[in-house]
Chains A and B, each alone.
Chain A
Amino acid sequence: MDKTKILLAHGSGGRLTHDLITKHLVQSLSNPLLNKLDDAAVFESKGKTAFTTDSYVVNPIFFPGGNIGKLAVCGTVNDLSVMGAIPKYLSLAFIIEEGLDISALEEIIKSIAAAAKEAGVEIVTGDTKVVNTGKADKIFINTAGVGFIPEGLDISGANARPDDAVIVSGTMGDHGIAIMAQREGLNFKTAVESDCAPLNGLITDMLKVCPRIHVMRDPTRGGLATTLNEIAGQSQVGIELNEESIPVKPAVGGACEALGLDPLYVANEGKIIAIMPEKDAPAVLSAMKAHPYGKDSAIIGRVISPNPGRVSIRTPLGALRILDMQSGELLPRIC
């Protein structure tokens, strides 16, 4: 028996499963609710509660700036936080392909523990399944999360209003390019790291100076362009951006140029778009810049009433064009 690999027996419910859970998971993620090892975590809640889930199937599972475990925690924490919720409890479910190195799993669990600690959330329930080789790609993770929304907040993609300011919390496209650069074959030299991070701290600071923020979203898959299109559609407003004020790291810009991609469509995992009344924007911006995850924040455009549902962008040459949703998968150009 190979002790360094995940075996089907690790998911069978027998001794190996028990060992895996107690030795690897409970020890690293220890908290009173989880340690009970009951069938469900039982807790009390009052007031408005936010609940979300997401599955993570990223390839490669380790990338510069993080791994699938960190991503799974940050993604769910961020989905709760952008609704104004204070994330509290997470569930964690693994689907593991037989043959995964146990050391890789340990590394992933370590990152999960670190990210949960940073975000101040507890992982209170979970599940582990092992599937035959070829039935999954190394490891898939699902996380669900619960958070509590403080009194008085009303944040939604449908709340953008004409004359609101649009702010992003930093450079666009870092995560997507870090992942692509890591894929076999695209071995161009970039030092781009994923921006994967829990954003609840930053968001708390923002809401402290302005509880009136109308919209917050994390521009993950589909990037800034697609997320803003969703918001424009939900709120039935137009959004006009100024391309020159959108922060993009030179290395990301260069890689995008080489691959024939537009950084505005490339995924982020540690950035927020925030939309709020113009008069509140300066205060929010300086609160964001004061936080390590928001130091490159910038006002990139504003909400307008013409062209409801559409996003337009002023190019550096002064032309105005439509910034459409992404359709299909982002693929590097052929030549």
Chain B
Amino acid sequence: MNFIEEFRSSQSGRTLLEYINKRSTKPARFMEFCGGHTVAIFRYGIRQLLPPHIEMLSGPGCPVCVTSTADLDKVIALSRLPGVIICSFGDLLRVPSSRQSLLEVRAEGADVRIVYSTMDALEIARQNPLKKVIFVGIGFETTAPTIAASVIQARNQGLANYYVMSIHKITPPVMRAILDAGETRLSGIICPGHVSSITGSNAWEFIPEEYHLACAVSGFESLDILYCVKSLVDQVEDATPRLDVSYSRAVKPEGNTAALKIMDEVFDICPANWRGIGILPQSGLCLRPEFAAFDAEKNFEIKLSEPSRETPGCLCGEIIKGTRTPLECKLFSKVCTPENPVGPCMVSSEGTCAAYYHYGGKLG
């Protein structure tokens, strides 16, 4: 466990910071893809220690934040069906859809439960044979394998009342979409750590190769992130973009092949609806036809009473793309707070607005 201590060592951190401050001359904009990184960067106070000409932007890396209102509306509609138990990870319950959040439908009597893992959801299905248990599968490549495993387990155990509503997304396509849109003029990218431990760092090779941008895969400790920023600065200063991995204790070039295999066995690649970005082809995961019996979309009639609409004034869509910051949102910290969130970026513990809210407060 000295491991962690080592990656937090203040001495090495300060040395890295000194190096970055000396070496960096060119203005640079780096995007951290992952919400976990956004939180860590704020938590260690890294922003204020970097040279002022280095700008850190937050990207689309939080599954809660990128869930579209339309998908949420579907989940809400499912939760209103008789005899249904909805299971999901905690944060999703608080995200407002067009009209309501899952917490609000729960207060009205819907059976909505927070689970900590898919195994909990399977257990609920086993204990409630007369009910239909729908697990809302949300997340990136990191969570998809465990949900694939739950579907296989349900099949092997003959569980006939377990369904998955898959709103899983995969990350390289959205990275491409952001880069193709060219709205943010980035100089480099900090690639996600947990996601890369499944996909492998190879998944990001296209960033330096096709887009000629600096890139580095990072862990979540202060030194991981500082090492990545150092690498990005070096790449920018030398104009030699490449793929660097500062998180090799968790990330292999080829990723976690066992996890990828089970994901592939259960899921097909299909279009997905990203908040603020819209429908991206080949960026989501849906159940393969062999597993249709477990697919909530195929087994329930989802009726939406009204078309989906975004909350007026909420800039989450822009924030996810890195084109705006929470401080540019008129609702930020006035109308929209973690206690009373207007958009998902304020709900999720890894949301950019929540990170700005909790850690961005001015001192003195």
A: residues with CB less than 8 A from B are 183-186, 244, 250-251, 253-254, 257, 260, 262, 306-307, 310, 312, 315-322, 324, 327-329, 331-335
**CA of A161 to CA of B315, assembled, Å:** 42
Instruction: Tell me the nearest residue of chain A to B357, going by C-beta.
Output: A324
User: Is the CB–CB distance between B91 and A316 below 8 Å?
Assistant: no
**B14: chain A residues within 8 A (beta carbon):** 317-318
Within the assembled complex, what's the spacing in Å between the Cα atoms of A320 and B361? 11
Among listed B44-52, B105-113, B182-190, B323-331, interface-contacting one: B44-52
> Which residues from chain A contact B25 at a C-beta distance below 8 Å?
none
Taking CB atoms, residues of chain B closer than 8 Å to A260 are: 36, 39, 220, 349-350
Determine whether the beta carbon of A317 is less than 8 Å from that of B44. Answer: yes
Q: Which of B43, B194, B222, B361 contacts A335 (CB 8 A)?
A: B194
Q: Give chain B residues whose Cβ lies under 8 Å from the Cβ of A250.
A: 1-2, 4-5
Give the distance to chain A from B243, nearest Cβ to Cβ, in Å: 21
A329 touching B115, Cβ below 8 Å: no
- In the complex, the answer to whether B90 meets A321 with C-beta atoms within 8 Å is no
Q: How near does chain A come to B10, taking the closest CB pair, in angstroms?
A: 4
Q: Please, which residue of chain A has its CB at the minimum distance from the CB of B94?
A: A328
Complex CA gap A328/B49 in Å reads 30
Asked if B49 contacts A316 (CB within 8 A), the reply is no
A303 to nearest B CB, angstroms? 15
A306–B46 touching, CB < 8 Å: no
A residues less than 8 Å from B358 (CB atoms): 322, 324, 327
B139 with A334: CB separation less than 8 A = yes
Binary flags per residue of B29-53, CB closer than 8 Å to A gives 1, else 0: 0000000100100111110110000
- The verdict on B28 contacting chain A, using a C-beta distance below 8 Å, is no
User: Which chain B residues border A331 with CB–CB below 8 Å?
Assistant: 89-91, 114, 349
Question: Interface of B with A (CB < 8 Å)?
Answer: 1-5, 8-10, 13-14, 17, 36, 39, 42-46, 48-49, 62-64, 89-91, 94, 114-120, 123, 138-140, 142-143, 194-195, 220-222, 226, 337-339, 349-350, 357-361, 363-364
**Cα-based distance from A327 to B48 in the complex (angstroms):** 24
Residues of A within 8 A of B118 (CB): 185
Shortest CB-to-CB span from A226 to chain B, Å, is 12
The answer to whether B115 touches A185 (Cβ under 8 A) is yes
Q: Point out the residues of chain A lying under 8 angstroms from B2, CB to CB.
A: 250
What's the count of A-B pairs with C-beta under 8 Å? Answer: 122
CB-CB < 8 A to A307: which residues of B?
363-364
When C-beta atoms are compared, the residue in chain B nearest to A180 turns out to be B116
What would be 19 A-B contacts, judged by CB atoms less than 8 Å apart? A183-B116, A185-B116, A250-B4, A253-B1, A254-B3, A306-B364, A315-B44, A317-B13, A317-B44, A317-B49, A318-B14, A318-B49, A321-B42, A321-B43, A322-B359, A327-B358, A328-B339, A331-B114, A334-B139
* Distance of B135 from chain A, by nearest CB (Å): 13
State whether B48 touches A319 (Cβ < 8 A).
Answer: yes
| CB contact under 8 A between A316 and B44, given known A257-B220, A322-B363, A334-B89 | yes
Q: Is the CB of A327 within 8 A of B10?
A: no
Which residue of the partner chain B has the closest CB to A329? B90
B10 cross-chain contacts in A, Cβ below 8 A: 244, 316-318
Residues of B near A328 (CB, < 8 A) are: 94, 338-339
Q: How far is the CA of A328 from the CA of B341 in the complex (A)?
A: 11
- Asked if B117 and A185 make an inter-chain contact with CB atoms under 8 angstroms apart, the answer reads yes
In whole angstroms, what is the CA distance A332 to B117 when docked?
Answer: 10
In the assembled complex, how far is the CB of residue A190 from the closest CB belonging to chain B, in whole angstroms? 10
The residue that B43 contacts in the complex, of A183, A315, A318, with Cβ under 8 A, is A315
> Whose C-beta in chain B lies nearest to the C-beta of A253?
B4
- A317: chain B residues within 8 A (beta carbon): 10, 13-14, 17, 44-46, 49, 222, 226
Assess whether A315 is in contact with B36, with CB atoms less than 8 Å apart. no
B123 CB contacts on chain A under 8 angstroms: 184
Contacts of A312 in B (CB 8 A): 363
Contacts of A257 in B (CB 8 A): 4, 220-221
A324 and B44 form a contact (CB under 8 A): no
Give B195's nearest chain A residue, CB to CB: A335
Known: A317-B222, A324-B361. Contact between A335 and B139, CB under 8 A?
A: yes
